[in-house]
Amino acid sequence: MARPPNPDAPLRLLAAARASFASVGVDQARIADIAEAAGFSKATFYLYFESKEAVFERLVNALFTASLAIVVEARSAQEALVAEIGACTAEDWAQQSPRLLRFREHDRQVSERTLATLWDWRDVFACIEQASGARRLVFDQLLEGTRQTVTAQLHQAVALGMLRPELDAELVSEMLIGVYLQLARRMARLDARPDLSLWSRQIEAFLSSGIHGAAAPTPASPRVSGADTVTT
């Protein structure tokens, strides 16, 4: 009688593969070593995954799933905030109103959550940076899907009057994604977790002066030296 599938096996194999990829790279990782690290045989690996490429694709998809979940939740939270207190107007920007501050804090929290997710997945991102060919294509396709989602949300924000009316949503989505990609690259080089709250405040300051309804000053953040300082 055949042994029933182990429901924990895929997750254990993925965790072992992730550790192996981070240690020696995808090319040098061996399926036999991954299976052994997870406590299984090589044959068991093939019960759940066709190849290392399939594992790599699953990990990249998991990274994007975690990131997009934040985008979707942020959109729902913003819609709820608009329903509660109304959209920001030019007057809100001119007066730095309490309503504006609520939305700016919302933006900062979204940035910090996004940065935290990128930090948690920095090992996978480091592997993506070294990828080429079919592996890179998987990443590029998922990145394009993310760009389309962000562009759609920017269009909606413009329609609500939350952003400058002349804003080019497609161009700005490229710029925003570029900011997070560059910070993800930086995280991949760090040994210690940076001050993500500081990073998020500086990202929010960039957004406020660049794409919102008007330039808005941000309270001064404490100066931090070393690896966790971002220059904007």
Confidence of residue 135 (pLDDT cuts 50, 70, 90): confident
What is the DSSP code (8-state) at residue 169?
H
As to burial, measured by CB atoms within 10 angstroms (0-12 exposed, 13-18 middle, 19+ buried), residue 3 is: exposed
- Quick: pLDDT tens for 2-42: 455 677 899 999 999 999 999 999 999 999 999 999 999 99
Is the separation of the CB atoms in 57 and 138 below 8 Å?
yes
The residues with which 212 forms a beta bridge, in sequence order, are 163
pLDDT given at position 210: 59
pLDDT given at position 125: 94
Residue type, 19: A
How many angstroms separate the CA atoms of 147 and 173, rounded?
6
Strands (E), 79-128: none
pLDDT given at position 205: 83
How many angstroms separate the CA atoms of 37 and 11, rounded?
12
Residue ranges of domains in the chain, CATH in brackets: 9-48 (1.10.10.60), 52-210 (1.10.357.10)
pLDDT given at position 5: 66
Q: What is the mean pLDDT of residues 44-58?
A: 95
pLDDT given at position 47: 94
Is the separation of the CB atoms in 100 and 159 below 8 Å?
no
Lowest-pLDDT choice from 47-56, 150-159, 210-219: 210-219
Is the separation of the CB atoms in 29 and 20 below 8 Å?
yes
Confidence of residue 219 (pLDDT cuts 50, 70, 90): very low
User: Which two structure tokens, joined as six digits, stand for 200?
Assistant: 């998020």
- Quick: pLDDT tens for 85-119: 998 877 887 788 999 899 889 989 999 999 999 99
pLDDT given at position 186: 95
- Indicate if the pLDDT at residue 215 is higher than 70: no
> What are phi and psi for residue 162, nearest 5 degrees?
-80, -25
- Indicate if the pLDDT at residue 224 is higher than 60: no
- Quick: pLDDT tens for 146-185: 899 889 988 887 887 777 778 888 998 998 899 999 999 9
Residue type, 59: L
Is the separation of the CB atoms in 103 and 88 below 8 Å?
yes
Q: What is the mean pLDDT of residues 199-209?
A: 83
Q: What is the mean pLDDT of residues 59-71?
A: 92
pLDDT given at position 227: 41
User: How long a stretch of residues is the chain?
Assistant: 232
pLDDT given at position 217: 42
How many angstroms separate the CA atoms of 34 and 15, rounded?
9
- Indicate if the pLDDT at residue 211 is higher than 70: no
Q: What is the mean pLDDT of the chain?
A: 85
SS3 content of the chain, % helix, strand, coil (to 5): 70, 0, 30
pLDDT given at position 220: 43
